[in-house]
Amino acid sequence: MALVRVISSDGAAFLVSQRLAKRSGKLKTEIETFRKSSDNSEAQPEIRIVTIRAEILRLVLQWLQQHQNDPVLPANQNEQDGRGDAEMGQSQWDRDFLAPMDLGIVMELILAANHLEVKGLLDITCKLVESKITGRTVDEIRTAFKLKSDFKGNEEEQTRLENRWCVEN
Amino acid sequence: MDSNGINPCRASPTRWAEIPAELLDKISEYLPKLSDVLPMRMVSKHWNSVINSALEHRIMQQWTVWLPFIKLSNISHYPAIDLSPQMIYTWKKVDADYGSCLIREKDVNPFPNNFLNIHCIPSLLYSLQNRIEEKLNGFLAWHGNNLVSLTLVLTEISPDRFQKTLEQVPNLRAFSIAVMGKVRDLHERVKNTESRTEPLQPSPCSKLEYLRICQGTSVNCELIQWLLKLLAPQLKSLEIDGNELPPFDQEHYPVAGSFQKLKWLKIRYPPNLNFLRSGSAFRWSITNLSIQVLGPVVPMQGLLEFIDNFSGSLSNLYLYIEKFVHVEKPEEFLAKKASCFPKLLTLAVNGVGFRPVFQFVKTNFTPRFRNLKTLQLLDFQLGPSIHYGTWSEMLKKEAIQYCEHEGFWKSFPKLQKIEVYPIQLGMPGKGKFYYLQRTN
């Protein structure tokens, strides 16, 4: 089995199968670039991901491992192929996977999924964030995401009026 | 630096206050309801700025993403100004809302994004019409230069007012206009104002690329003519929902370079034979063409000649036609019009199965679409009494059998994918469809 060494920003190395790694668009490109530039076809690629720390990279690889046999998601979510409906929903495993995470970790996972081009993971993490925003007041959103208002003077009131203008007509 | 040019010293943001704009933008895409997105504008300055851009992007996509059919409803813009009589009568409310929120200071952009929807229907009193125009004039004079996209739904508009409106929105990129109402008055007024029937040159809104003219139930050929004559050299996308489109000839469009930049053309409820036989005088570079005719009978030979105008550049062709009249001698037509469509990659056509439109289009076009890669079968229905209320295995099986029976894979040697849109369930860009891929 062909392997690839993926190294996090803090130096932790993960040895994974190339088949699994290629489910990430970014890793796939890196492996193919390595193959083209390497004289030795047996050489093991080594990829440094300088923006993702070990804890997060481990979670991404764990998610990829769990979903390694999923069909590749079509760009258009309404598409259904002639072989049957693709699995579009969030699985119980995904829910259990995300449940213990605080929103700080979720944000890092979103950044990682985006950087590594893992669409399925990006989808479920963005949906989790969406669920923390939908139907919430501004104060509730700020509390959930540990944010403080930095508006000055009447800027916030002005924004509130603009919002009202957008939905009233 | 790594292979992507990212500085390794730069730590990833770990606080939501610092989340990169593109990711917050991405998250907002999972919130389809405006009422859920708007509170995000109030969280912090960073979120406010990102969500403003996301909203702008979301609205602009209604123009920049190709959807072949013309939406029956108006382009959805927000915010909106309602200048209809009940709002004018309750002027205090208008001033309370707009006074505090909008007309703050002359040089301040009052828009959360750079979009606006102005609607004003209907006004029965002429004095009221004047007041509406006065209000519109005052507002756009102060703030029109901030607008990138504008939707105007009006009962009527005077030629003077219309010209002023265009002059007040010099940065406009997209414009949707619907004038529904006193057509005869407008007709006469446009006609009687000689100076206004000839468009200004150069155009007062030189950045305008996307134009949609929606006429509602009435017809105002002069207004369309005036507007198109003015904008024909600069438009990238033109959508017309109406039945009095002036023919594409040099008599109607004398300005040099008319339609030379036009890439997308959508026509709904068109055209008579004169219109369909026009177009050969211009050098076209249209890539996407959509023709939808619901109701009126279409002379098919005229339609084929019209489409042939774009044979050199067309890559997407969408035909949705309910009724048509056959070509009298299709062999002669084909022999005379031997142009092929080397760039045509996607064909969408309705009337699959028992309806004759698809069979006719197939007979006339199949030999000339040799490079077609995607075939979209709209309103898939194998018999007049069959209605597919739900997505079913039976429907999928029928679609596969039909495609095999029709021999599409052989007729189009480069065809890679057939998309089947069952009747009442989907259209390109929305709803559900099956796709079948070439297996050999």
Q: What is the domain range of residue B39?
A: 19-58
Inter-residue contact A157 to A164 (CB < 8 Å): no
pLDDT band at B250 (very low <50, low <70, confident <90, very high): confident
The answer to whether B43 contacts A135, with C-beta atoms less than 8 Å apart, is no
- pLDDT band at residue A75, thresholds of 50, 70 and 90? very low
Tell me whether residues B14 and A104 touch, CB distance under 8 A: yes
Whether the CA torsion B157, B159, B160, B162 is positive or negative: it is: positive
Q: What is the pLDDT of residue B322?
A: 77
Domain-located, residue B84: no
d(CA B140, CA B129): 16
Do the chains contact at B34 and A80, CB–CB below 8 Å? no
How many whole angstroms separate alpha carbon B206 and alpha carbon B211? 13
Q: Is residue B340 part of a domain?
A: no
ipTM for this prediction: 0.82
pLDDT band at A159 (very low <50, low <70, confident <90, very high): confident
- Per-residue pLDDT, B329: 60
Measure CB to CB from residue A167 to each of B38, B117, B391 and give the nearest one. Answer: B38
Q: Which amino acid is at B136?
A: L
pLDDT of B11 > 50? The answer is no
Q: How far is A121 from chain B (nearest CA, A)?
A: 13
Taking CB atoms and an 8 Å limit, are A138 and B23 in contact across chains? no
Planar angle of CA B90, B93, B96, nearest 5 degrees: 150
pLDDT at position B24, please? 86
Quickly state the pLDDT bin for B416 (edges 50, 70, 90): very high
Contact B418, B436 (CB under 8 A): yes
Give the mean model confidence (pLDDT) for residues B388-407.
Answer: 75
Q: Which of B137-146, B180-189, B194-203 is predicted with the least confidence, judged by mean pLDDT? A: B180-189
**Highest averaged pLDDT of the listed ranges B183-187, B229-233, B255-259, B383-387:** B229-233
pLDDT tens digits, residue range A51-71?
A: 999 999 999 999 999 998 876
Angle between helices B159-168 and B221-231 (to 10 degrees): 30
Q: How many CB pairs under 8 A join A and B?
A: 149
| Candidate ranges B15-24, B111-120, B214-223, B386-395; pick with highest mean pLDDT | B15-24
pTM: 0.77
Query: Do A81 and B434 lie within an 8 Å CB cutoff?
Result: yes
Percentage of residues in chain B having pLDDT higher than 90:
12
Give the integer Cα–Cα distance in Å for B156 and B152: 10
B147 vs B71, residue with greater confidence: B147
pLDDT in tens, B86-105: 554 444 444 444 444 445 55
Over residues B405-421, mean pLDDT = 87
> In the structure, what pLDDT confidence band is assigned to residue B279 with cuts at 50, 70 and 90?
confident
Confidence category of residue B162, pLDDT binned at 50, 70, 90: confident
User: Per the CB < 8 Å rule, is B27 touching A130?
Assistant: yes
Question: Chain A residues with CB inside 8 Å of B437's CB?
Answer: 81-82
Upstream peptide bond of B202 is cis (omega within 30 degrees of 0): yes
Distance from CA of B1 to the nearest CA of A (A): 9
- Hey, is the C-beta of A166 within 8 angstroms of any chain B C-beta? yes
pLDDT at B22 over 70: yes
B36 domain-assigned: yes
User: B399 to chain A: which residues are within 8 Å by CB?
Assistant: 82
- Taking the C-alpha atoms of residue B2 and residue B396, their distance in angstroms, rounded to an integer, is 48
Q: Is residue B51 part of a domain?
A: yes
Q: How far apart are the first and last CA of chain A?
A: 61
A37 contact B CB<8A: no
Q: Are strands A46-48 and B430-431 parallel, antiparallel or unpaired?
A: unpaired
Q: Which of A107-111, A145-149, B181-185 shows the lowest mean pLDDT across its residues?
A: B181-185
A contact test, residue of B16, B139, B419 with most A CBs within 10 A? B16
Query: How buried is residue A69: exposed, middle or buried, by Cβ count under 10 Å (0-12/13-18/19+)?
Result: exposed
Residue B437 tokens, joined: 């891929």
Roughly how many angstroms between the first and final C-alpha of chain B, as a whole number?
Answer: 45
Model confidence at B424: pLDDT above 90 = no
pLDDT of B75: 54
A102 interfaces chain B, CB cutoff of 8 Å: no
- pLDDT one-digit tens code per residue, B191-245: 444 444 455 566 788 899 999 887 654 556 667 777 888 888 999 999 987 666 7
Mean pLDDT score of chain A: 85
Distance, CA of B202 to CA of B196 (rounded, Å): 14
Amino acid at B78: Y
Let me know if residue B362 belongs to a domain: no
A111 has a chain B CB within 8 A of its CB = yes
| A146 interface with B at CB cutoff 8 Å | yes
Contact list, B112 vs chain A (CB under 8 Å): 159, 162-163, 165-166
Do residue B39 and residue A111 have CB atoms under 8 angstroms apart?
no
In chain A, whose CA is at the least distance from the CA of B421?
A: A79
- Within a domain: B160: no
Which is higher by pLDDT, B71 or B168?
B168
Pairwise CA distance, residues A26 & B169, whole Å: 43
**DSSP assignment string, B120-173:** E-----HHHHHHHHHHHHHHHHHHGGG-SEEEEEES---HHHHHHHHHH-TT--
pLDDT given for residue B230 in this prediction: 85
> Has residue B365 got a pLDDT over 90?
no
What is the SS3 assignment for A149?
coil
Find the range with the poorest average confidence among A24-28, B68-72, B204-208. B68-72
CA pair distance A122, B25, nearest whole angstrom: 13
| Chain B residues touching A156 at Cβ < 8 A | 42
* Residue B257, phi-psi category: left (phi > 0), alpha (psi -120 to 50), beta (remainder): left
In a domain, residue B411? The reply is: no
For residue B156, CA distances in Å to B221, B242, B417 come to: 14, 16, 47
The more confidently predicted of residues B203 and B12 is: B203
Looking at the 3D structure of chain B, how many domains does it have? 1
> Within a domain: residue B49?
yes
The reply to whether A149 touches chain B by the CB within 8 Å rule is yes
From A44, A46, A54, select the one nearest A8 (Cα to Cα): A54
Gap between the Cα atoms of B132 and B135, Å rounded: 5
What per-residue confidence (pLDDT) applies to B100? 44
Report whether pLDDT(B9) > 50: no
Amino acid A7: pLDDT: 96
Question: Cα–Cα distance between B344 and B287 in angstroms, integer?
Answer: 8
Give the confidence band of A12 by pLDDT, cuts at 50, 70, 90.
very high
pLDDT at A92 over 60: yes
Interface check for A168 against chain B (CB to CB < 8 A): the answer is yes
Give me the residues of A, 40-99, that contact B with CB < 8 A: 48-53, 78-82
Pairwise pLDDT comparison (B201 vs B150), residue with the higher score? B150
pLDDT averaged over every residue in chain B: 74
What pLDDT does residue B407 have? 83
Burial class (CB in 10 A: 0-12, 13-18, 19+), A130: middle
Q: In B, which residues are within 8 Å of A111 by CB distance?
A: 12-13, 20, 23
Please tell me the predicted confidence (pLDDT) of residue B73. Answer: 52
Q: B-chain residues within 8 Å CB-CB of A167?
A: 34-35, 38, 78
- pLDDT per position as a tens digit, B306-356: 888 999 999 999 988 877 666 556 556 555 555 789 999 999 988 665 555
B389 burial (CB, 10 Å; 0-12 / 13-18 / 19+) is exposed
Return the CA Rg of chain B. 25
Nearest to B244 by CA among B280, B269, B262, B211: B269
User: B267 near B292, Cβ under 8 Å?
Assistant: yes
What is the DSSP secondary-structure string of B47-115?
HHHHHHHHHHHHHHHHHHS--SSPPSSPP--SSEEE-SHHHHHTHHHHHHHHHHHT-S-TTS---SSSE
Are B39 and A82 an interchain contact pair (Cβ–Cβ within 8 Å)?
no
| pLDDT at site B60 | 80
Find the CB nearest A137 among B39, B41, B437: B39
What's at B267, amino acid-wise? I
Q: Between B67 and B76, whose confidence is greater?
A: B67
* A46-48, strands of its sheet edge to edge: A13-17, A3-7, A46-48
Give me the mean pLDDT over the B239-262 stretch: 82
The secondary structure of residue B367, as a DSSP letter, is: G
